[in-house]
Each structure stands twice: as structure tokens, then as C-alpha cells.
């Protein structure tokens, strides 16, 4: 039996408990600062699922410097799982008017359709493994 990756990601998201706090789009940054990353592996999904042709499962290591941020963006048909290795982030989920605090050892999820921005809210670099489904380039 094949497991639908998107369904698994949504189930994981439903099981995680987040502390909701208001998120304001007016304060969202429009540029990213202090971000570095590299793709650590991909798996083409062509033929694995009925509608996955042209898509791949991608893993990246991402670092956000203290004071760094990922600018406001939208996940259009792109779910994402984030495992925080070290540091602390605040995920400003504008599309749901809430904030989520992520700490080392936590897995965070971003379902398709979410609009958000992320900031390093701690004193040390954030290191994370980010896994998502993206078009094959």
C-alpha cells in the first residue's frame, strides 16, 4: 500500500500542539536576511502517486542567523516539514492570524496554502532540516 505523503504531513500537522498568538501581515518583512541553505537530497516522485509527475521530494539544511528572517511568502501546493536541530524560531502564520514558537528537537509543519514569514527569535543560529515537495527543475 502506498502512503500519500501529503496526507501524512497533514496528519502530523493535526497532531502537533501550537500556542496561538496573533500574526500581523502589516509587520511582515518583504526581504530575507541571514539565511543560508543547501539541498541535501531529492527523490523524483514521477509515477509514485497518481498526480506526482514533475514533482520531487526535497531535503535541505537551512541556517538562519540571529536576527535573520525568511520574508513573507506563500506555500502554493507545497507542504513542508521542518525539523529544528538547534535554535528558536517564531513562525508568523499570517493566513491564520497566529504565531508558532519552534525550538530545537521540534518538528514544525507548513501545509499547502499557508502564507507566513519566519524569524530567528533566539541568540544562536537556527539550524533546520526542511523537507518539501517541489517541481523538478
pLDDT digits (tens, 9 = 90+) for 8-50: 333 333 333 333 444 567 788 888 888 888 877 666 666 666 7
pLDDT average, residue stretch 41-66: 81
Q: How many domains does the chain have?
A: 1
Q: Are 55 and 122 in contact (CB under 8 A)?
A: no
> What pTM was computed for the model?
0.68
Which residues are paired to 91 by β-bridges?
Answer: 100, 118
- Provide the residue range defining the domain that includes 16: 5-135
For the chain, the average pLDDT equals 80
Residue 39 confidence (pLDDT): 79
pLDDT average, residue stretch 98-102: 95
pLDDT average, residue stretch 39-62: 78
Calculate Rg over the CA atoms of the chain. Answer: 15
Residue 23 confidence (pLDDT): 59
How far, in Å, CA of 34 to CA of 66, rounded? 8
Amino acid at each position: 500500500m502506498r502512503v500519500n505523503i501529503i496526507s501524512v504531513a497533514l496528519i502530523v500537522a493535526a497532531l502537533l500542539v501550537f500556542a496561538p498568538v496573533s500574526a500581523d501581515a502589516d509587520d511582515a518583512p518583504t526581504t530575507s536576511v541571514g539565511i543560508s541553505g543547501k539541498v541535501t537530497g531529492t527523490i523524483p516522485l514521477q509515477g509514485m502517486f497518481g498526480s506526482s509527475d514533475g514533482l520531487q521530494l526535497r531535503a535541505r539544511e537551512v541556517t538562519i542567523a540571529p536576527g535573520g528572517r525568511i520574508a513573507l511568502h506563500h506555500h502554493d501546493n507545497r507542504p513542508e516539514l521542518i525539523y529544528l536541530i538547534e535554535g528558536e524560531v517564531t513562525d508568523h502564520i499570517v493566513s491564520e492570524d497566529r504565531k508558532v514558537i519552534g525550538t530545537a528537537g521540534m518538528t514544525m509543519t507548513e501545509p499547502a496554502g499557508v502564507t507566513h514569514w519566519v524569524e530567528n527569535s533566539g541568540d544562536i543560529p537556527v539550524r533546520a532540516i526542511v523537507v518539501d515537495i517541489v517541481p523538478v527543475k
